[in-house]
Amino acid sequence: MAANQSDRSAKAATKRKLLGEEELRMRARQGTRNVLAELMEWHGIEEQTARQRVLDQCKATCPSGAARLLTNTAHHRKARKYYF
C-alpha cells in the first residue's frame, strides 16, 4: 500500500534534517530574475537547480577565480544602474 501524504512529508522532513538541508531565500530585482529565467530556459532546469549549479561552478573556480566572479567592478555597478 502506498504511503499517504503526511507520511511522505514526515519522511522528507526527516531526510532534510539528517542531511543538514535548509531553505535559502533571496530577494532579486527584475534584471536578476530575467538572467535566472534565461539560464533555466537554456538548460531546461528548475530555479533551485539553476541556483545550486551557479554556486557550485563559482566555488569550483577556486578562491581567486571566485573572487574575480564576485568582485563588484565599476562595469557591474554601471550595468546594475540600468538593468538591475
The per-residue pLDDT for range 19-36, each reduced to its tens digit, is 998 888 888 889 889 988
Stated pTM of the model: 0.57
DSSP class of residue 15?
H
Residue 2 included in any domain: no
Residue 6 included in any domain: no
Residue 46 included in any domain: yes
Task: Report the C-alpha gap between 68 and 21 in whole angstroms.
Answer: 28
Q: What is the three-state SS of 25-48?
A: CCCCCHHHHHHHHHHHHHHCCCHH
Residue 18 in this model has a pLDDT that exceeds 70: yes
C-alpha cell at 24: 535559502
**How many domains is the chain built from?**
1
The predicted structure's pLDDT at residue 80: 56
Q: Which residue segment(s) compose the domain that 55 sits in?
A: 27-83
Residue 51 included in any domain: yes
50-81 confidence digits (pLDDT tens):
988 888 888 888 888 788 777 766 655 565 55
Residue 37 included in any domain: yes
C-alpha cell at 39: 539560464
Residue 42 included in any domain: yes
